[in-house]
Chains A and B, each alone.
Chain A
Amino acid sequence: MQKQEAIDLLVKHRHGAISVTTMQAAAPWHLAGQTSSMHCEASLCMGSAASLALGLALGAPQHNVMVLDGDGSLLMQLGSLVTVASFAPANFYHFVFANGTYESSGNQPVPGTGVMDLPALAKASGYADAFSFEDAAELDPALPELFDRDGPILIELKIARDDATPRWALVPMAEMVRALRNELAP
């Protein structure tokens, strides 16, 4: 599926969930108007989106937390799958935008593309369940059911390569941290 199709569907089904983005999803999520509330971005952390989201999920169990991760980003801290699973947050939904490339640095290939099995890694790490979608038409009806289930759940989104000039997050992370803390712990 195209990245924008995935973004549009996650916007449609977000329903107030806290979002955490990194790298390829960060700018389109911002441009879709999703970063002004209940959001934090983690693009300069080299793979910390899932652990940051884990802290949010454990600290605010009354909210769903959705992570918009990347395949290259997740691989930088792959052990976070095990850490997330060991704390078993029921409100944790881990979307991985898997385009097989390090998009922001020029679409170099991500190791393991075509060989590794991210949903299998998540399930073997102890996630409650994991899925993979290549087609937006299949993802759309599946999302409400996924959010009804207890996490942690990993959802791999097979995203087409994008050769457009990379766009970066438009708001400094410190501002987002302040804003989210003001919302969650005023």
Chain B
Amino acid sequence: MITTPLAISLEGKLIADAICELGVTHVISVPDTNLRTVLADLAARSVPKLMYVCTEDEAIGINAGLYMTGHKPMLLIQNNGFYACINTIKAIALGAEVPTFMLVGQFGRDVNKRVEDSPNRAVHRLEPTMTTWGVPFVRIDEPDDVPLIRAAWDRAWTTKGPSAAIVGAPSR
């Protein structure tokens, strides 16, 4: 039986172009396997500056410092990385009201299953965890969803808080 995937693999360049169109100055990342072609595309560009850091906690701190100096940074992380930095999201993105836009890869997702039905805890608990913490999110599961990256970015800046775009399938 042939099944239609519920999330389609997007070209890394398509996502990287969408990031550049936002005017992002820095992409701060603890790398995500699913978004490796996005990272490779960004690495080949001089703007935005791609910064690899040791932890997602650091990424949120650096994002705040760059924001205070007038830059427009963002994070590129993995679902597991989101869980790793919840206290810092609580303190800085939410508590200190810092625009914190996160592109998050759904590492470990079976694209033939609904996110809610995934046996992988990191996948099926991501959106409920974001909801619990007041982190709005959009799903980027197909090419028509790419404009939602801008919507999520704008939301972070409008609300001065966290906002996420979750990429459902490995980029190609």
Contacts and interface: CB of A to CB of B under 8 A. Distances in A.
Interface stretch (B33-41, B54-62, B110-118, B119-127): B54-62
Contacts of B87: 45-46
Contacts of B59: 51
Interface stretch (A75-83, A103-111, A154-162): A75-83
Interface residues of A, number: 35
Interface residues of B, number: 29
Interface stretch (B4-12, B89-97, B142-150): B89-97
Contacts of B135: none
Interface in A50-108: 50-60, 77, 79-80, 82-83, 87
Interface of A is mostly: helix
B70 A181 contact: yes
B54 A82 contact: yes
Contacts of B95: 44, 172-174
A26 to B, nearest CB: 13
A60 to B, nearest CB: 4
Given A51-B57, A77-B58, A173-B96, A45 B88 contact: yes
B64 interface: yes
A185 interface: yes
Interface of A: 40, 42, 44-60, 77, 79-80, 82-83, 87, 172-174, 176-178, 180-181, 184-185
